[in-house]
Amino acid sequence: MITSHTLNVHFWLKKSSVRKDGTFPIYARISIGSASRVDLSTKQNVLEQNWCDKSSRVGKRIKDARRINDELDAIYSEVKKAYKELRNEGVPISAKAVKLRCTGKDRPVSTIRDLIQYHTENDLKKLAPGTAKNYAATEKYILRFVKSEYKCDDIYLSQIDYTFIVKFEDYLRDCKTLKKAQPLNNNGRMKHLERLKKFTTLALKHRWIKSNPFALYQLKYEDFDCPFLEENELKTISSITLTDDSLSIVRDVFVFSCYTGLCYIEVKNLKTGDIVNGIDKEDWIMVRRQKSKTPVKLPLLEQAKRILEKYQEVSQDVHTNKLLPVFSDQKINKYLKEIAKLCKIEKNLTFHVARHTFATTVTLLNDVPIETVSKMLGHTKLSTTQKYARVVEQKISKDMSSLRSKLKQTNRTSTKSKTYKDNGHLRIV
């Protein structure tokens, strides 16, 4: 038996588990005081007659004795090392905690690579696929920056501070991008920093770092004004004759989104059961937003209903009961650019443009209150809707024209009512 303070490690044969060759497995019994005890397999086997109970080792004259005994000594050293680590960390120490540390199941997250691996194994699966896929690029940029700045493959979490963040932002501004066709703009850089912030927040919650390196740093996003289709552009896309079947499908799915405000994944997942009888006995769409799980309830406009009817036979043949044939988002965005060219629309047409078109052209410019638009878009904050439903010039002109008419009518009424006689004559004031 070997003792280190209250730590005891004793090697013994587990005679209840005899192997086919007659050997018994050697186990290490880890004890902390008298109350805490666990057994750890050494993955070594020996015949009973070759084992020395007094020294807790294999007899020296036995074949492979040196190899096995060296392995047992290494295990003892690992147990002792794990015990010291836990004691230095100031955490409650038990035999089980020592075993977990020895087997790597309680390996402390101390470096940036450890943190990335922990996030990948434990937190990444909790995210939506569209969100999770972006972390791979951020991880590559972080590790590239570490290699460039520190001339090594990894650094301790304690080295991540405000200076690290500022230098990482500068690196993203000048570094070679992962894809030549996708340069990093300001908002792209901020997205990578936002993901780094989530890494450090995770480390802070687990007490792997003592302070928040982002406490004095502010993410600086630039407002992005996403384009939307004006009424004449929407009519052009809706009515243009397309001979290519794929382009026709993409156009119909896009126009459907323009009249419902649903985003790509919500249109793709739309099923037969999502069309219900609403409060007004008309067809309504009732789904939950993929991103926030917020319920979305909106009446089905005639233009959107016609598109569903067009693909009714297609949806009946699909076992998933999906209502529309939706391609991948990359393919849709590629085809939308071809459609825009055919329609002579000089805008960067992506599927997200449809959602902005619904908020602006279809609803707001037709006097639908922004509060109602917010509900139909599934937003929890009105400020989010204001980014979608811009008060455009047409709306301003329309509202001011209405105001002019009201003011003229009010002035005319006021003039007629304020007349009285003065020296036998009517005087208009």
pLDDT in tens, 151-187: 999 999 999 999 999 999 999 999 999 988 778 999 9
Around Cβ 283, how many Cβ atoms within 10 Å? 16
How far apart CA 1 and CA 52 sit, in angstroms, is 12
Least Cα distance to 207 among 121, 109, 101 occurs for: 109
* Residues 6+ positions from 428 with CB-CB distance below 8 Å: 415, 418, 419
Around Cβ 241, how many Cβ atoms within 10 Å? 6
How far apart CA 203 and CA 100 sit, in angstroms, is 20
How far apart CA 33 and CA 270 sit, in angstroms, is 61
Four-residue CA torsion sign, 390, 369, 302, 308: positive
pLDDT in tens, 363-422: 888 888 888 888 888 887 777 777 766 656 666 777 788 788 888 887 777 666 555 555
Around Cβ 143, how many Cβ atoms within 10 Å? 15
Q: Specify the higher pLDDT residue, 201 or 35.
A: 201
How far apart CA 284 and CA 282 sit, in angstroms, is 6
Question: Is 80 exceeded by the pLDDT of residue 292?
Answer: no
* Residues 6+ positions from 38 with CB-CB distance below 8 Å: 29, 30, 95, 96, 98, 99
Question: Is 70 exceeded by the pLDDT of residue 26?
Answer: yes
The per-residue pLDDT of the chain, averaged, comes to: 86
How far apart CA 287 and CA 269 sit, in angstroms, is 10
For the chain, what is the largest distance between any 2 Cα atoms, rounded to a whole number of angstroms? 142
How far apart CA 263 and CA 352 sit, in angstroms, is 7
Question: Is 60 exceeded by the pLDDT of residue 425?
Answer: no
Mean pLDDT for the stretch of residues 224-248: 90
pLDDT in tens, 83-116: 988 888 777 788 988 888 888 777 778 899 999 9
Question: Is 60 exceeded by the pLDDT of residue 289?
Answer: yes
Instruction: State residue 227's pLDDT score.
Output: 86
Instruction: State residue 384's pLDDT score.
Output: 72
Least Cα distance to 394 among 229, 205, 187 occurs for: 229
Instruction: State residue 1's pLDDT score.
Output: 45
* Residues 6+ positions from 165 with CB-CB distance below 8 Å: 193, 196, 213, 214, 217
How far apart CA 296 and CA 113 sit, in angstroms, is 40
pLDDT in tens, 59-72: 888 888 999 999 99
Question: Is 90 exceeded by the pLDDT of residue 320?
Answer: no
How is residue 85 annotated by DSSP? H
**Which amino acid, one-letter code, is at 62?**
I
**Rounded to a whole number, what is the distance in angstroms from the first to the last CA of the chain?**
114
- Report the share of the chain in percent with pLDDT over 70: 90
Around Cβ 179, how many Cβ atoms within 10 Å? 8
